[in-house]
Amino acid sequence: MRILIYTHAFAPNIGGAETYVMLLADGLAARPEVRQVTVTTPTPAGGFDDASLPFRVVRRPSLWSLWRLVGEADVVMLAGPCLAPLAMAHARHRPVAVEHHGYQAVCPNGLLFQQPHELVCSGHFMHRRYDRCLRCVHATGGWRQAVVKALATFPRRWMCAKAAANVGITRHVAQRIALPRCEVVYHGVPDPGRAGNGPSADLTTFAYVGRLVSEKGIPLLLEAARILKKEGLRFRVTIIGDGPERDRLEAVARNLGFSDEVSFAGYLRGDGLRRAVRDVTALVIPTIMEETAGLAAMEQMMRGRLVVAADIGGLGEVVDGAGLKFRPGDARGLAACLRRVLEEPSLARALGERARRRALHAFSIARMVDEHLAIFTRLVARRARLNDPVVRSATF
């Protein structure tokens, strides 16, 4: 089987989709039934050594090269509903599976997050309230971008509806995109072994890890910390990441008098990130938008660490039963969860063990590769049956 994977973002870029494609391609390349795995992407190499990978990488292909790559593949998988390769797969009659990491098939900005109001979108595009979509995209990108993105959503959704398979990364995503032939495959994350819950920390430490943008709800964490500090509770909060909201968040922390309790570590990766989270008691994800899954939550659950998360979108589904959840946007609800961690020292370890068991079962790389390979095998077999002369004569 020859598998072509198209992804808009890939190494050396760092992110959820980049990590997922790398792990999936690596796992597929090791399977004996897979003859070749090719990853194609517009992302430049930037010094990254593609030759060290066990699969082929084609960067910045021309339209002609992409057309040829699609034609050579037995099955095409798209990491997101990218228009050009999706159209080419249809034109060349190749079975295509579209993996939905966002909401681009139902939302022009792909987030289902309404701007400038910063509210979860009720689904304006699917309800044909296109004027709302235009105003939303215009708030952050201008009218030209609003028109282009809104118009592109029509052919994107139409072609996804014609795809041989649509894959949602959570049940929530599958429900939101409402496309035919849709199934759910959770992301897989590496198993680094269980991490302790702050064995050397002198204070309970909560951490946020991710981009510092408005939809992530970080002011909610600061407000919850203010509530707990007012009650006389002692703790630390470490905010790891960078983004356009960093200066404003640091100003808010100063104004709340968090000189000792809250620190901003900036963007970290690799060993620096591992050291920063080593003594963290719980990871806090206070997002106010419908996260499609929550890769950071999966990674920390695999480490056996407690996750405290907003009960919203795919994030609530991932953490369900193996962490603490609160109503999105509810600072007092978040404070109540953090208070439990502070007042019940055994809670973080008990829920951390439960989180690791869930992650080993639901978020393993082997399971992710197996389920993708099963989809691809089924699509290739179906195409072979349809191309069989006997089947075709019986069908037409």
Task: List pLDDT tens digits, range 233-279.
Answer: 999 999 999 999 999 999 999 999 888 899 999 998 888 888 888 88
Using 50, 70 and 90 to split pLDDT, how confident is the model at 388? low
Using the predicted structure, report yes or no on whether residue 363 has a pLDDT greater than 50. yes
**Of 373 and 385, more confident:** 373
CATH code matching the domain that covers 2-189+365-395, chosen among 3.10.20.600, 1.10.10.10, 3.90.550.10, 3.40.50.2000:
3.40.50.2000
pLDDT digits (tens, 9 = 90+) for 201-211: 578 999 999 89
Q: What is the mean pLDDT of residues 68-90?
A: 96
Whole-structure pTM value: 0.90
Q: What is the pLDDT of residue 384?
A: 86
Alpha helices in the chain (DSSP H): 16-29, 63-72, 83-91, 130-162, 171-177, 218-230, 246-255, 270-277, 295-302, 313-319, 331-343, 347-362, 365-387, 389-395
pLDDT digits (tens, 9 = 90+) for 94-148: 999 999 999 999 999 999 999 999 899 999 999 999 999 999 999 999 999 999 9
Q: Domain residue spans in the chain?
A: 2-189+365-395, 205-362
Q: What is the pLDDT of residue 389?
A: 57
- Phi, psi values for residue 333, rounded to 5°: -65, -40
CATH number, domain 205-362: 3.40.50.2000
Query: 23: which 2 tokens?
Result: 């792990």
